[in-house]
């Protein structure tokens, strides 16, 4: 960034000497012959460091820098004056209105070093402010993300609970059906069986997890296996082990879910 330096002194020869000394360091130098003129320049320029004399007509250097601190607190403020003004600026130094008090006549290299240090201080403060703003923005973004994530989790939890409730209701309805319902996966294992199915094939058999070939009679099992590769519902009659003729329906699974296999419905009434 460009380093802008403001020199305020009502003695033109002092400002000229400072300009000759400091322009070699590449500063953009502004000049003002009074505190009022300095405030006018500050209103239109981004100034990092100010060097002002103490004894000036109208507004003193301390009064000028006190006003600058209020309006532009980030600026680094330096008084360059004689030893006789030291007492008058001590209070301003203690109140933070002045960063350094340098005396006239000055040592060229020491003054240049002080100005360089002042700009480094100013730029470090600006960089810290920038990083602080970025951190605040990142924290706000993180807060919004966390809030959105919490809302998604809440919505998902509500959806899961709703689906669980629907599943429980569906399971109860399934258990109360007067017909036997058996779900058989494409691996030939029984994955679902309601109460009527358990009664039909003996309560001693759990059915769930059993191989359909171990439970179903051969004619019915043959129909089930044939229907595994079809996409239509098959309706037919089939005898049970006790000789009763029952109505059967076999429908493929997968139309409304990722399940694979068939649903076997048996009306033994």
The reply to whether 89 and 202 lie within a common domain is no
Q: Count up the domains in the chain and report the number.
A: 2
DSSP string, 163-216: HHHHHHHHHHHHHH-SSEEEEEETTSBEEEE-HHHHHHT-TT---TT-BHHHHS
Last residue of some domain: 132, 159, 192? 132
Domain assignment present for 152? no
Same domain, 17 and 93: yes
Q: Are residues 19 and 125 in the same domain?
A: yes
- For residues 182 and 76, membership in a common domain is answered with no
Residue 263 and residue 185 share a domain: yes
pLDDT by 10s per residue, the chain, length 269 = 789 999 999 999 999 999 999 999 999 999 999 999 999 999 999 999 999 998 888 888 888 999 999 999 999 999 988 766 666 667 677 777 788 888 888 999 999 999 999 999 999 999 999 999 999 999 999 999 999 999 999 999 999 999 888 888 888 888 888 899 999 988 889 988 888 888 887 655 578 888 888 888 887 888 888 777 677 888 888 887 777 888 999 888 877 777 788 899 999 77
**Pair (15, 127) in one structural domain:** yes
Residues in Cβ contact with 171 at an 8 Å cutoff, skipping those fewer than 6 apart: none
Q: Which of 103, 132, 161 is the last residue of a domain?
A: 132
224 and 111 in one domain?
no
Looking at 132, 167, 201, the residue that finishes a domain is 132
pTM for this one?
0.58
As a dihedral over the C-alpha atoms of residue 162, residue 166, residue 172, residue 175, rounded to 10 degrees, the angle is: -140
* Cα–Cα distance for residue pair 200/267, rounded to 1 Å: 10
CATH value at residue 97: 3.40.50.2300
124 and 36 in a single domain? The answer is yes
* 40 and 118 together in one domain: yes
Inside any domain, residue 147? no
Residues spanned by the domain of 30: 4-132
Is position 29 within any domain? yes
35 exposed, middle or buried (CB, 10 Å; 0-12, 13-18, 19+)? buried
């Amino acid at each position: 960034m460009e380093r802008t330096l403001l020199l305020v002194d009502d003695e033109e020869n002092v400002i000229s000497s400072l300009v000759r000394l400091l322009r070699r360091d590449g500063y953009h130098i502004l000049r003002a012959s009074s505190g009022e003129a300095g405030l006018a320049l500050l209103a239109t320029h981004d100034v990092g460091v100010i060097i002002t004399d103490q004894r000036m007509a109208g507004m003193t250097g301390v009064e000028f820098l006190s006003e600058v601190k209020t309006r532009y607190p980030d600026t680094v403020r330096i008084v360059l004056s004689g030893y006789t003004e030291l007492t008058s600026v001590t209070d301003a130094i203690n109140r933070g209105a002045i960063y350094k008090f340098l005396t006239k006549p000055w040592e060229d290299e020491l003054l240049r070093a002080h100005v360089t240090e002042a700009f480094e201080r100013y730029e470090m403060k600006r960089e810290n402010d920038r990083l602080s703003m970025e951190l605040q923005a990142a924290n706000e973004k993180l807060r919004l993300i966390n809030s959105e994530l919490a809302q998604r989790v809440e919505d998902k939890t509500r959806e899961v609970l709703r689906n669980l409730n629907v599943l429980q209701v569906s399971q109860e309805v399934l258990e109360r059906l007067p017909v036997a319902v058996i779900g058989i996966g494409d691996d030939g294992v029984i994955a679902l069986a309601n109460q009527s199915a358990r009664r039909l094939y003996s309560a001693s058999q759990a059915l769930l997890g059993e191989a359909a070939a171990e439970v179903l009679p051969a004619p019915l099992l043959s129909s089930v296996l044939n229907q595994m590769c079809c996409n239509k519902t098959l309706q037919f009659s089939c005898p049970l082990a006790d000789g009763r003729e029952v109505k059967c329906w076999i429908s493929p699974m997968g139309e409304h879910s990722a399940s694979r296999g068939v649903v076997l419905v048996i009306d033994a009434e």
